[in-house]
Structure 1
């Protein structure tokens, strides 16, 4: 039966993938030629895919001296044939590029066969021909042009929009010949917004109150309530921990413990007090350089010390110090600018206008930290944080850092930023090799984004000011896109970590720019932006999808329906703990070690340090939120890894949305899920009400809606069948033995085992851990 079920699942996924491919293909064949061909949105993606590897920004790989990414280079006479030109505006028949992509001579055809790239399609050739006929006008890459607040578009259906976001979305939906979905039912909408804003399911009391409230502002009131809850900061922080590669171990072979969790507590605090985004980032980049810097601002700079650090004896100090600076540079580019800056580490970027020299100019901002590549080998608490560091005293916690959950009197130290008194020289590193010094460079940024003006100091604080300059085209767009991704499963720019030439084009470019400018002009207010998104009609839509919409828009790119996808790994755990009543809502503090399969750490450990052996926690620490589970980089928590949580090895902007058979095995066998099933079952049996009422309560707590009659009947029948199975007391006691939470003494174990299997079944419904 299990094999049959597994085969059915795999076959179903395979058929769905084939259908999706067919639909995507049919949509592509139906593409209409635009009236006005845009270089940015039509031509550049083709050139980037098929031409820029040999005729793009990388001078070292450039063929025939031809560069097609810059207007003047593409227009000038060819190096190998001065009488010819690659592109001649208005004249495709005189443009060598057009002739080479249309020739029937295989020795002349571009891209060449040796490139292993497919030839251009007929549609792509027609686009380039029309573009040249219209004057072959080049445009600066859309992401490197400062956003302008677009005019809010007019729409046909004036009744649907709630705020301006909806007008941009609806204009595109109508253009694509679709209509938006109706608003989701109140129960589904409440579950959705609770999971999105707090990572926790709504209580039955919340459900009843919302269902009974028929006022026009009932939903807005729920949003306001959720934004004020401490759990909001925890949910918002979860994404930032991925971005910041936060973990509880150093990450290399010995992978010993690090005490960086006070920085995580600060992130939660910052989101809860709604620290403006410009301050949130500036403190993390350069809190130590601010005038009269506070301990809170210094703690925030732990962001730049979350990278992997070695404690291996015998390593080359300078090699690893350079590795740390490289990590900070790459994280800066990916997290805050959404550009693949790391591609210029060894050579000029092959697709984007970033030279290797410019890479090391950014590198220079992070190259002056008072740190070593190897400071100390595995040992006691003094190695838990590496210099530069700050110590957090009990007095600090009472006064300045009250948000840090320091639970004992032990010494608490955190790695933070701190520059040397004298400037360390920075060199371009030939081929990226740590000791292959090329020319000396000064701190600076890529000119194609925004030149680093003399008005900025050449340090990290100056870099932060550059980042939030009104002329910086990326900062606001990038964060708005990341936030949009958290609520819709994909960003307006799908490649949220790459706004460059190889990244995807925005699905709603005018909306992205409108949001970016609006966010910036309203004081970088994160809660305001969150509220705008979740109160929109776009967000409130039903997730039901028709065959027609699935065919026209299989990825839900145009948002004519709400998305449907599995919640993050940590939220899976939180849903189970919260619905069963096991969740301990304590915020912050040292990370905890809940149940884990035995032997995992030991099999991958060098045998040194306090993380060589997994020592499971007990009591309340078994029931903390998923975000507080200790992350050992070399052996991340098994159940979370199966749900595709980040290992925190490096900056991660987006997790995979997956649904695999292994995840079903976790839900069926994980001790936390089974223990939660037992605990909730015991509570239900202690209530003086009929079986149907107990099942209804369990269903509402877990799935967050009332079950229908068929669901109640199925689960009731299942319960009665399980009563017969667990008349065998040995079977019942074996099932109930899971978990450390105490069992009520005076309880019928047969009934408890039967009810536990019913609750476990509800936990294993796809709907339970799916956002709909």
Structure 2
């Protein structure tokens, strides 16, 4: 079998290289050494100061050196306390500005940043600061804290643009000396939009239908069909589950069972029903506080209770209760504002205008839940209060979107505020028992001042504040996240950090236009998604021009479509769907598919129902990846290898890696081998000629028609494998019995085994797992 394995690897490589022969290596982008005519604080100066200066001369008063503050004009222009004739910055006069003297000093004991910081300024950065001071050293509020206004849509090549998005991207391309790529061919475009909107490959029937449709709106019809597909909600929900840190266990050492899947069913339902983002946000933050709240509204607040919870005896109750509130506060900051609130838990933020007092004023909104740090035991059959019971009768009447399989009531943790107001204090150094100054509810004034009289003194008021037309962040953050889902990179690359240390937007006018347009159209998510996927920018080919690589190696300016590996959950979905094994059921409890033995047991505390892994069977083995059971201390290994989140905390952006382990998963995971076997058996029942059989298999998996050279390679490999199995018939039965799906006894022969191996090779091709 070693010879077969080597041949397998070589052919996977040959097919992948053949499929992508047009790709070239990325080259590094040369730095732009020219200075802008007008030096802008937000886009040229603040990033330098934030990286090199704000740690010692920024918002954190406790760590501020020499009483010098450079993040505000008042601080930068003020006279020094020990020398009233000296100023850090004198607008219009670099020679009189102490900043210039210190950053250009030859004396290492005086030069800034200090040597011990291991930070330096490049000659160009020094020139930028000098020119900025010469031009008046004008400070501006941080770009993300300025309320977005809809810019004029720029003129562009009318023959290329399809909607306003394209006007902005086209102009930016031209500024950088780039030009748009041609539209992707119909097969690749269909695969792309199917995976982006449903997480599933297009069926052969859909492929045929789209290829035959020559009408001008053929693509738009497909988009509308996919937006109306029940699997659209699953695809959109998967990303939100990372943000909401959804899991099926509590976390920490004992890591007992948690039942929150009805909340996951609600998220899928909300996306499929196209709830406005305003409703989606409000119900999750404060559905329980809405007058005459329905049970669905209360269920939505499970978002806040998805954090880790301890079940270990001996813990200090108040310490863990405070930890839960900290989690909700940090999640709020990252999920809805893309700010690193957690950096202010122990001290003032070192870079952003978020004081420790601001942090605990936000903390106060989430500090009113009548919960305990430790409640119940690891095997408790009830959810930690506050909770709600969901009965079969309610599922059949008011909560029809919940996929409840048995008659027993299901308990889910939700939000509920105490009848008496719990006071909140600044916690010195973040310690749960170190009460400092008492605080009321509030939010950093730098974003938008919070008035309890205007909004209210609870989470519902917080939701109203988020949706205030003067809030500069809420719409920007969400449209940026949606953009990321379709382009693999946000307009602001740092999805979770719109603060001083975050990256600047690549297309600031486009971001503001999208944010304002989204709000003005009632926060309509499906409309936003359709705008993006019907744009000419999205529909471009992913083939890269060599001249574009030199100018824009990271494709920041979108002169071609990005090549992205499909998410971990969709790797599983693709294999199951293309083989015909996928169970398309929507919602319901999580499932435990094949997993290597002993993994849970090694990491178990030795007690509780999740001490050992008990695999599911029959149709539950073939459910979508988003329903795979997530035990926080031992996440599903095959999905973790493909960069899935372990759901320990709010995560708005997964890592993206390429490792040999991913190839090993595709070659050895039972669900891949089983899918290859079942697809082989199903195809053989059609009794097709070999060329047609291989062509259909290729189209099911790669989602395009194979070229003649590719078909020739596959055919030769199939023949070689068949000959090998004829020589070693004892290998056939072992290979064809992988997985629990019933084996067709009449198909236990060398050709079936060879076809299975050929299919598994196609599953291992790079293009199979890429959205191009």
When normalised by structure 2's length, the TM-score is 0.96
For 2:666, the equivalent position in structure 1 comes to 667
For 1:631, the equivalent position in structure 2 comes to 630
Paired with 1:387 and 1:552, the residues of 2 have a C-alpha distance of 56
For 1:648, the equivalent position in structure 2 comes to 647
Paired with 2:111 and 2:310, the residues of 1 have a C-alpha distance of 50
For 2:613, the equivalent position in structure 1 comes to 614
Paired with 2:552 and 2:464, the residues of 1 have a C-alpha distance of 40
Paired with 1:512 and 1:47, the residues of 2 have a C-alpha distance of 24
For 2:21, the equivalent position in structure 1 comes to none
For 2:20, the equivalent position in structure 1 comes to none
Matched residues, number: 756
The CA deviation string for residues 228-264 of structure 1, in whole angstroms up to 9 with x for no partner, is 0000000000000000000000001111111100000
Residues 3, 369 of structure 1: alpha-carbon distance in 2 compared, 3 angstrom cutoff: farther
1:276 aligns with 2:276: yes
Residues 765, 89 of structure 1: alpha-carbon distance in 2 compared, 3 angstrom cutoff: same
Paired with 1:653 and 1:147, the residues of 2 have a C-alpha distance of 22
For 2:313, the equivalent position in structure 1 comes to 313
Does the 8 A contact of 1:64 with 1:80 survive in 2?
no
For 2:420, the equivalent position in structure 1 comes to 422
- SS of 1:391 mapped into structure 2: strand
For 2:210, the equivalent position in structure 1 comes to 210
Paired with 1:639 and 1:731, the residues of 2 have a C-alpha distance of 26
Q: Mapping of 1:363-402 within 5 angstroms? A: 363-382=363-382, 385-402=383-400
For 1:407, the equivalent position in structure 2 comes to 405
- SS of 2:36 mapped into structure 1: coil
Does the 8 A contact of 2:321 with 2:371 survive in 1?
yes
Aligned with 2:98 (options 71, 74, 96): 96
Alpha-carbon deviation of 1:113? Answer: 0.3
Paired with 2:56 and 2:82, the residues of 1 have a C-alpha distance of 15
1:530 aligns with 2:532: no
Does the 8 A contact of 2:257 with 2:379 survive in 1?
no
For 2:348, the equivalent position in structure 1 comes to 348
For 1:15, the equivalent position in structure 2 comes to none
Alpha-carbon deviation of 1:608? Answer: 1.4
Any stretches of 5+ residues in structure 2 without a counterpart?
18-23
The CA deviation string for residues 511-549 of structure 1, in whole angstroms up to 9 with x for no partner, is 000000000010000000000000000000000112221
Alpha-carbon deviation of 1:32? Answer: 2.6
Does the 8 A contact of 2:732 with 2:748 survive in 1?
no
Alpha-carbon deviation of 1:208? Answer: 0.6
Residues 644, 203 of structure 1: alpha-carbon distance in 2 compared, 3 angstrom cutoff: same
Paired with 1:660 and 1:19, the residues of 2 have a C-alpha distance of 18
Alpha-carbon deviation of 1:550? Answer: 1.5
Does the 8 A contact of 1:298 with 1:417 survive in 2?
yes
Aligned with 1:87 (options 53, 73, 89): 89
Paired with 1:737 and 1:730, the residues of 2 have a C-alpha distance of 12
- SS of 1:83 mapped into structure 2: strand
Alpha-carbon deviation of 1:98? Answer: 1.2
1:133 aligns with 2:134: yes
Paired with 2:309 and 2:476, the residues of 1 have a C-alpha distance of 32
- SS of 2:438 mapped into structure 1: strand
For 2:564, the equivalent position in structure 1 comes to 565
Does the 8 A contact of 1:566 with 1:658 survive in 2?
no
Alpha-carbon deviation of 1:729? Answer: 2.0
Alpha-carbon deviation of 1:3? Answer: 10
Paired with 1:399 and 1:535, the residues of 2 have a C-alpha distance of 37
Alpha-carbon deviation of 1:31? Answer: 3.9
- SS of 2:211 mapped into structure 1: helix
Paired with 2:299 and 2:41, the residues of 1 have a C-alpha distance of 45
Paired with 1:611 and 1:154, the residues of 2 have a C-alpha distance of 60
For 2:184, the equivalent position in structure 1 comes to 184
Q: Mapping of 1:128-277 within 5 angstroms? A: 128-155=129-156, 157-277=157-277
Any stretches of 5+ residues in structure 1 without a counterpart?
13-17
- SS of 1:439 mapped into structure 2: strand
For 2:574, the equivalent position in structure 1 comes to 575
Alpha-carbon deviation of 1:748? Answer: 4.3
In the TM superposition, structure 1's runs of 4+ consecutive aligned residues that sit over 4 Å from their partners are: 1-6
For 1:52, the equivalent position in structure 2 comes to 54
For 1:539, the equivalent position in structure 2 comes to 538
Alpha-carbon deviation of 1:381? Answer: 1.6
Alpha-carbon deviation of 1:19? Answer: 7.2
Alpha-carbon deviation of 1:164? Answer: 0.4
For 1:605, the equivalent position in structure 2 comes to 604
The CA deviation string for residues 198-219 of structure 1, in whole angstroms up to 9 with x for no partner, is 0000001101111111111000
Does the 8 A contact of 2:392 with 2:409 survive in 1?
no
For 1:770, the equivalent position in structure 2 comes to 770
Alpha-carbon deviation of 1:80? Answer: 2.6
- SS of 1:427 mapped into structure 2: strand
Paired with 2:397 and 2:519, the residues of 1 have a C-alpha distance of 32
Alpha-carbon deviation of 1:688? Answer: 2.0
